[in-house]
Chains A and B, each alone.
Chain A
Amino acid sequence: MDAIILQILNGLDKGSAYALIALGLTLIFGTLGVVNFAHGALFMIGAFCAVTLSRLLSLSHKVEIPGAVDFLGNPQMRDVPYIYEIFGENLGATIIDWAVPLSILFAIPVMILIGVIMERGLIKHFYKRPHADQILVTFGLAIVLQEIIKYYYGANPIPTPAPSAFVGSFDFGALIGFDPGTIIYPYWRLVYFAFAAVIIGAVFAFLQFTTFGMVVRAGMADRETVGLLGINIDKRFTIMFGLAAAVAGLAGVMYTPINSPNYHMGMDFLVLSFVVVVVGGMGSLPGAVLAGFLLGILESFASMREVIDIIPGINQVIIYLVAIIILLTRPRGLMGRKGVMED
């Protein structure tokens, strides 16, 4: 029992990331009808927003340490971040410590801007081209984006820690009445899950309760009719693209403490997220979220020693296997509408 709960918990953080990326992919596919292979790159850029902000906050200048001299007799220097001088040492240190959560504020405008530029500058021209062309051009874009990041940030993963308050683990098992020490769970993963739940809830609420969201949902169901009603659907879809980019970016920002960001993390997640979208059902938002969590948890179950001992290597292929079975037996996915891109 405790092992099962542990695996479910372990699957949650990856599942959250899958769900957030798949949600954005589905929003874009459902509204614009575009298959976006560059969506993983947006996740990656989000992660590097966090890297950038924590570097910006830590920008320092050298200050002499009073009274201290090195062996040559020169005064010893230490790095003092500028931010200490603005906010004082204590608050400054806290701000640097909280760089990753603060990056959310930084990443939202950046990601929306990138998304809007991408849509207006490139994707717009591919609405009427075949899906293969959309795949190809966004695939090219993904390469370009990740190479730009690689050029500026290098090829190695950049450790970006969570705020010290969330470093470490807690005994989740003891909280719910198991023996102490059976279910140890890192704080940040729980934060990530909660964060993902909030974002997903916000996106659904936005689509459900605002006029804007209502028009977008109508557009997803039947684009032509909504266009005929004289509603400028294109403009809204541009904003949707920005929103989807922001969702992917935020997923990336908060993922940095779990996995140090590198330039190809987007591609790694993209392939899996596509699988998630397909399993959930192309164009179905709840399907994307459900499939994201399901596959994340399934993956973590498949990584259990007991399972691997029976079927070696299953943890490596479980997601693909599920996708293949789903595509062959129920092509519309778990929650896809009948007839939407079924063949």
Chain B
Amino acid sequence: MFGLDKKDASLLLIVTALVAFAPFLLNPFPEGSAMAQFNAGYPDLMQRFVIFGIFAIGFNILFGLTGYLSFGHAAFLGVGSYAAVWMFKLLSMNVLPAIILAVIVAGIFALIIGYVSLRRSGIYFSILTLAFAQMSFALAYSVLTPITGGETGLQLALDDPRIFGSATTAEGNIPVPGFFGLEMRDSTELVLGNWVFTFSVGYYFAAIIMLLSFYLSIRIFRSPFGMMLRAVKSNQQRLNYTGLNPRPYTLAAFVISGMYAGLAGGLMASMDPLAGAERMFWTASGEVVLMTILGGVGTLIGPVLGAGLIKYMENIISKINSDILHSWFAFLPDGLEDLVVTLIYPFIGKGWHLTLGIVFMLVVIFLPGGLVQGGQKIAGLFGRKKAQEPKNATTEPAE
């Protein structure tokens, strides 16, 4: 199906189903219940899931396949955002040209940075990309203020030209981004008993693009091009002596992943039409590394899982405060309750980064394949008896 083999096609179908029913799946707790704060089914957060999913999928094409660890990928996301907002300012509020320009500009940017950075490998490559991204950040923050809006960020204004659309709405407000009449901000609510489900145009728009990106990444993984990229990671020397030039392959991978980042940036601006330099800061680049590693680098689904998990933690865990903790552990005797709350408190609310850092370290140390590897291990534990026999048959003695 769609040129995929059975396993990949079913993976794509599962992801499609999950994404399509996300507004239900992420809202399992009824409104007003104590657990309602764990609901993630609101448009803003769901949009971030899929957009950062795109970002991580793209990053994985570079890092997962070629093994080149870029520490500056957020620069492309930031550039994409700026490009999209400029389209909203100059052309119209239609998201299509904005996203297309975001992808193109990020691609050109990636071509330049990649061309230079890929002349080195290993840690030098990481430091070069980091240096370029920090440079872009510093410039966007200071000298390029006329283009980037500097510290305040780039925002829409009432007096923007918008030559193919109206500068203002009938009520005199700044118009909102839309897709041929569908406004990204629109949503409908479905009330079922105590449950409220929100279906937003913006989310489904971003979700469809995410599914397309995911599909494309599967095709890239399975293509000869993807195989070459894995060969780059495995043994560049052999590749060279086999008549293949590794550099254009890695550069192509770099540009593709930069364009994915630009796409994510353009979508981000489409959901909320503003762009700031902080999106390019190196911690933002670190975040996408975390997502990819956490989910499972080099796997198809890993980066999407990682992106979802980190954004969920960021939004949900960081909202838990000590009052909520106290109400959870109210069943314990007072002294014990305080103790438990004191022990957990550093890891929640503002401390969610601490939890993130610890989880990340544990993953790198014990589970280099990320959550996907963890899942496989667990599945292996349960299915061991069945799998044992064929496993022995395929294991050949080494040397």
Complex: how many Å from CA A65 to CA B283?
Answer: 51
The reply to whether A147 and B127 form a contact with Cβ atoms under 8 Å apart is: no
Closest to B356 in A: A143
> Footprint of B on A, CB under 8 Å?
35, 122, 125, 131-133, 135-137, 139-144, 147-148, 150-151, 267, 271, 274-275, 278, 312-313, 316-317, 320-321, 323-324, 327-328, 331, 341, 343
Among B120, B351, B361, B365, contact of A151 (Cβ-Cβ < 8 Å): B351
CB pair A137–B120 under 8 Å, yes or no, is no
Asked if B358 and A144 sit within 8 Å, CB to CB, the answer is yes
Task: Determine whether the beta carbon of A139 is less than 8 Å from that of B286.
Answer: yes
Whether B139 lies near A143 (C-beta < 8 A) is no
Categorize the interface residue count of chain B: 35 or more
Chain B positions 63 through 86: 1 when the CB is less than 8 Å from some CB of chain A, otherwise 0: 000010100000000000000000
Q: Known contacts A147-B351, A271-B282, A341-B124; is A316 also within 8 Å of B139 by CB?
A: yes
With beta carbons under 8 angstroms apart, the residue of A135, A150, A323, A328 that contacts B123 is: A135
Cα–Cα distance between A151 and B358 once the two chains are bound (Å): 15
Contact flag A148-B354 (CB < 8 Å), given A271-B282, A341-B123: yes
5 A-B contact pairs sorted by A residue (CB < 8 Å): A140-B358, A147-B357, A150-B350, A151-B346, A316-B141
**Which of A122, A143, A316, A331 sits near B142, CB closer than 8 Å?**
A316
Is B14 interfacial (CB 8 A cutoff)? no
Stretch at the interface among B30-38, B129-137, B254-262: B129-137
* B132 engages A140 (CB within 8 Å): no
Residues of chain B within 8 A of A320, CB atoms compared:
131-132, 134-135, 138
A313 touches B142 (CB 8 A): yes
CB neighbours of A137 from chain B (8 A): 361, 364-365
B: which residues have CB within 8 A of A? 67, 69, 116, 119-124, 126-128, 130-132, 134-135, 138-139, 141-144, 282-283, 286, 289, 293, 346, 350-351, 353-354, 356-358, 360-361, 364-365, 368
Pairwise interchain contact B361-A131, C-beta atoms closer than 8 A: no
Q: Choose one: B69, B126, B131, B357; the contact of A143 (CB below 8 Å).
A: B357
Instruction: Name the distance in Å between B277's Cβ and chain A's nearest Cβ.
Output: 11
- Chain A residues near B134 (CB, 8 Å)? 271, 320
The contact of B354 among A125, A144, A274, A341, by CB within 8 Å, is A144
Q: How far is the CA of A320 from the CA of B346 in the complex (A)?
A: 36
| Given contacts A144-B357, A271-B282, A136 and B121 within 8 Å (CB-CB) | no
Contact call B354/A133, Cβ cutoff below 8 A: no
CB proximity of A312 to chain B, nearest CB, Å: 5
Pick the contact of B361 from A141, A312, A324 — CB < 8 Å? A141
Known contacts A143-B356, A144-B357, A327 near B351 by CB under 8 Å? no
By a CB distance below 8 angstroms, the chain A residues around B139 are 313, 316-317
Cα A160 to Cα B29 with chains together (Å): 49
Query: In the assembled complex, which residues on chain B have CB atoms less than 8 Å from the CB atom of A274?
Result: 127, 130
Closest to B360 in A: A140
Residues in A neighbouring B358, C-beta threshold 8 A: 140, 144
Apart from A143-B353, A148-B354, A343-B120, what 9 extra A-B contacts exist at CB < 8 Å? A133-B364, A133-B368, A135-B126, A136-B289, A141-B361, A143-B360, A271-B282, A316-B138, A324-B131
- Cβ distance A311 to chain B, nearest Cβ, rounded Å: 9
Query: A141 is contacted by which of B289, B293, B357 (Cβ under 8 Å)?
Result: B357
Measured in the bound complex, the distance between the Cα atoms of B145 and A312 in whole Å is 11
Is the pair A278, B132 in contact by a Cβ cutoff of 8 Å? Answer: no
Rounded to whole angstroms, the CA-CA distance of A324 and B67 in the bound complex is 21
Interchain CA distance A131-B368 in the complex, whole Å = 13
Interface pair B120/A327, CB less than 8 Å apart: yes
> Bound state CA distance, A196 and B132, in angstroms?
29
Query: What residues on B are CB-neighbors of A140 within 8 Å?
Result: 357-358, 360-361, 364
A343 contact set on B, CB distance < 8 A: 120-122, 124
Pair B283/A327 contact, Cβ less than 8 Å: no
Assembled-state Cα–Cα distance A321/B364 (Å) = 32
**Contacts A278-B127, A317-B135, A321-B135 known; A136 to B120 CB distance under 8 Å?**
no
What residues on A are CB-neighbors of B122 within 8 Å?
A: 131, 341, 343
Q: In the assembly, what is the distance between CA of A124 and CA of B352, in Å?
A: 27
A317 to B226, CA, bound (A): 35
Residues of A within 8 Å of B119, CB to CB, are 328
- Cβ of A316: which chain B residues have Cβ within 8 Å of it? 135, 138-139, 141-143
Asked whether B126 lies within 8 Å of A317 as measured between CB atoms, the reply is: no
Which one, A125, A143, A312, A331, contacts B124 given CB within 8 A? A331
Contact A271 B351 (CB under 8 A): no
> B141 touching A135 by the CB < 8 A rule?
no
A205 CA / B131 CA spacing, docked (Å):
33
- Complex contact A331–B120 (CB within 8 A): yes
B128-A324 in contact (CB<8A) = yes
With a CB–CB cut-off of 8 A, which chain B residues contact A136?
Answer: 69, 289, 293, 360, 364
With a cutoff of 8 Å between Cβ atoms, the chain B residues found around residue A331 in the complex are 120, 124
CA distance A148 to B357 in the complex (A): 10
Which residue on A lies nearest to B130, using beta carbons?
A: A271
Bound-complex Cα distance A139 to B358 (A): 11
- Complexed CA–CA distance, A153 and B116 (Å): 41
Contact B116 A324 (CB under 8 A): yes
A328 surroundings in chain B (CB, below 8 A): 116, 119-120
When distances are taken between beta carbons in the complex, the residues of chain B under 8 Å from A312 are 142-143
Chain B nearest CB, measured from A273 CB (Å): 11
Residues of A within 8 A of B127 (CB): 274-275, 278, 323, 327
Chain A residue with minimal CB distance to B137?
A316
The minimal Cβ–Cβ distance linking A275 to chain B, given in whole angstroms, is: 6
Q: Please, which residue of chain A has its CB at the minimum distance from the CB of B355?
A: A147
* Cα separation A202 to B275 with both chains bound (whole Å): 49
Contact of A144 with B361 in the complex, beta carbons under 8 Å: yes
Contact A132 B69 (CB under 8 A): yes
Contacts of A321 in B (CB 8 A): 135
Q: How near does chain A come to B361, taking the closest CB pair, in angstroms? A: 4
Closest A residue by C-beta to B365: A137
In the assembled complex, which residues on chain A have CB atoms less than 8 Å from the CB atom of B130? Answer: 271, 274
Decide: A131 and B364 in contact? CB cutoff 8 A.
no
